[in-house]
Amino acid sequence: MSKKWNLVVDVARCDNCRNCFLATKDEHIGNDFPGYTAAQPEKEHSWVDIKHKERGSYPIVEANFMPVMCNHCDDAPCMKVAKDNAIKKRDDGIVIIDPEKSKGQKAIVDACPYGAVYWNEEKQIPQAWIFDAHLLDTGWTKPRVQQSCPTEVFKTLKVDDKKMQQIQEEEGLSVLLPDEGTRPRVYYKNLHLMTACFVSGSVVAMIDGVDECAEGADAVLKQNGNEVARTTTDVFGEFKLDKLPPGSGSYELEVSMSSGGKYSAEVNVGEDNIYLGTLMLNS
């Protein structure tokens, strides 16, 4: 089985430094790579971009960032609308839009469900991130996005499909828009930071006659009697129960300490994250 290129993107590691965005611009603006792509325009194209999402409400709030780019799909919608073999899927998994054959084919842009293909108005061609195939073909082992990243967001893998499936299962990797069935080669770790909801709160308990932040309390979330999430409160008495599907409905929350004290409530998870405020453990 042949080995193919894959990219793993860890959302939890991205701090929005935008080095990946800038490195891609540096590589492609003003530089033609015949057979791979024409030069990227100075404006309006973001072959590698950063999406962001804020979750929660004061005092438990977080901002998360997710690099996005062409997914180099195995069942790429852009290929289905391309004429005259304007797009090819290489044996190593990389999708290339031919800068000559694709002229005038704006339908290629519209076909991408990820919005990762851009229209070059001057040259009248569709363009997307080429996985820096021109560098990999000369011996590079990783694209510029990984080479330039200071927080190790990216991991490039050239493995066969069976091995990649194993890695996906072991590391809990996800892909964007799985229902589209495009079979992307860009995988995401900790994607729940962009897609899921959490329930949070601040726990207080009576300790030696004084109300104190309840560090080390157990917080458990159940649905229909089955445990779906568990965590412990931090030094500030705060907890966050994460990875809950938006709109997943009613849950039973129970917070308790081994030294005594308990709090329970029903929580309804809609489309937003929930902060329950200060929760007092009752003896």
- Which of 173, 193, 213 is at the close of a domain? 193
The domain spanning residue 86 has which CATH number?
3.30.70.20
Distance CA 79, CA 102 (A): 11
Q: Evaluate the CA torsion angle 240, 243, 244, 245 in order and state its sign.
A: positive
* 145 Cβ contact partners less than 8 Å away, ≥ 6 residues apart: 7, 20, 23, 24, 48, 67, 69, 132, 154
166 torsion bin: left (phi>0), alpha (psi -120 to 50), beta (else): alpha
Please say which residue of 174, 193, 212 terminates a domain: 193
Residues 15 and 129 in one domain: yes
118 in Cβ contact with 127 (< 8 Å):
yes
234 in the same domain as 177:
no
User: pLDDT value at position 259?
Assistant: 79
Q: Is pTM beyond 0.85 here?
A: yes
Q: What are the angstrom distances between the C-alpha of 25 and each of 19, 30, 81, 132?
A: 10, 9, 27, 12
pLDDT at 210: 78
**Edge-to-edge strands, sheet with 226-232:** 226-232, 218-223, 249-256, 262-269
pLDDT-flagged residues of the chain (< 50): none
Judge if 253 and 231 occupy the same domain: yes
Q: Which of 193, 224, 258 is the last residue of a domain?
A: 193
Same domain, 273 and 139: no
For position 187, what pLDDT does the model report?
98
- CATH number at 236 reads 2.60.40.10
Q: Are residues 76 and 122 located together in one domain of the fold? A: yes
> CB of 9 within 8 A of CB of 142?
no
Are residues 142 and 156 in contact, defined by beta-carbon separation less than 8 angstroms?
yes
Q: What is the pLDDT of residue 196?
A: 97
Q: How far apart are CA 7 and CA 140, in angstroms?
A: 14
Same domain (yes/no): 45, 120: yes
Residue 152's H or E segment, with its range, is none
Say yes or no: 31 and 168 in one domain: yes
Q: Which residue range forms the structural domain that includes residue 15?
A: 4-193
What is the model's pLDDT at position 206? 81
143 in the same domain as 17: yes
Task: Supply the pLDDT for residue 264.
Answer: 95
> Count of domains in the chain?
2
- Which amino acid belongs to residue 56? G
23 and 90 together in one domain: yes
Question: Would you state the pLDDT for residue 172?
Answer: 97
- Name the token pair of 76: 């790429």
Q: Does one domain contain both 55 and 184?
A: yes
